[in-house]
Structure 1
Amino acid sequence: MAFTSTFRVYYEDTDMGGVVYYANYLKFLERGRSDAVRAAGISQSDMKERDGIVFVVRRVEADYLRPARFDDVLTIETGLSDMKGASFVMPQRVLRGDTVLLSARIGVACMTLAGRPVRIPADIRHNFIALLGDETAS
């Protein structure tokens, strides 16, 4: 995993027992991916306005290993693998210190605003690989 972002768990993220509600991990992963895309110099707003393309999540695989709790400081690790013409996978982990709380693989597709798959532009592909590498590249 090549990119990390950190944030704190707020009360609103938890259930009545102070444990992070399972669906909120998807929000945490989204924040990590958004931060990674931004750090790669990619403006999703510009992609949409200039090129008429967007990234959409098409698959989520998540293994919930340990609970996060109110006031924990979490680190989201985000990587890149399986980059193809119009899609890629972003492996992610949620950690509290050195403890892995969740491990996920997020399948992302590049789509037109009309909902058709489109090849990832070369500059965006380059920026992703420059920041995140490609864990499946030989």
Structure 2
Amino acid sequence: MNAAHRFALRVYYEDTDLAGIVYYANYLKFIERGRSEWVRGLGIDQGKLKAETGVVFAVRRVLADYLKPAVYDDALVVETRLQSLGNARIDLQQSVLRDTQVLFTAEVTLVCMGADGKAARIPQALRAALA
């Protein structure tokens, strides 16, 4: 749908495990940062959105593939691409790369929730930003 949003990060010692490679759960943190910066780049302030509408987004599903290890001091890029947009759902494709080498991929489904914790329609401002 849209061009990929790119977010650069570096692997720190704290991101690695005893084997010296990035601990598997940290890839989820990396792609979370990438999603947050993607939304910020669209001009959406998630804190303000919550305060004004009660709307938040939650991860409903992640399908992840660990392809190659990242190691301490690697310069990485998280790419985030919109795959589809529903009434209350956003499907994304995210990848973590070192140079052009894909290390990790994930299909992520987000759901929009109201203050009551139930599914809610994606606000028009965000829908417009994604269009």
Partner of 1:34: 36
Structure-2-length-normalised TM-score: 0.96
- Aligned counterparts of 1:48 and 1:121: Cα–Cα separation in 2: 11
Secondary structure class of the residue paired with 1:105: strand
- Aligned counterparts of 2:122 and 2:29: Cα–Cα separation in 1: 24
Q: Deviations over 1:35-54 (max 9, x none)?
A: 00000001110111000100
Secondary structure class of the residue paired with 1:119: coil
Match of 1:98 among 97, 100, 125: 100
Read off the aligned partner of 2:21 and give its amino acid letter. V
- Aligned counterparts of 2:37 and 2:71: Cα–Cα separation in 1: 22
Read off the aligned partner of 2:47 and give its amino acid letter. S
Q: Deviations over 1:53-99 (max 9, x none)?
A: 00110000001000000100000000101210000111100000000
- Aligned counterparts of 2:81 and 2:109: Cα–Cα separation in 1: 12
Partner of 1:132: none
Secondary structure class of the residue paired with 1:23: helix
Q: Which has the higher strand share?
A: 2
Partner of 1:47: 49
Secondary structure class of the residue paired with 1:106: strand
Secondary structure class of the residue paired with 1:113: coil
Secondary structure class of the residue paired with 2:84: coil
Where structure 2 has 5 or more consecutive residues not aligned to the other structure, the ranges are none
Check the 8 A contact 1:110/1:118 in 2, yes or no.
yes
Q: Which runs of 4+ in 1 moved over 4 A?
A: none
Q: Report how many aligned residue pairs link the two structures.
A: 129
CA RMSD of aligned residues (A): 0.8
Secondary structure class of the residue paired with 1:81: strand
Shift of 1:128: 2.0
Partner of 1:81: 83
Check the 8 A contact 1:37/1:128 in 2, yes or no.
no
- Aligned counterparts of 2:115 and 2:73: Cα–Cα separation in 1: 38
Structure-1-length-normalised TM-score: 0.91
- Aligned counterparts of 2:52 and 2:109: Cα–Cα separation in 1: 24
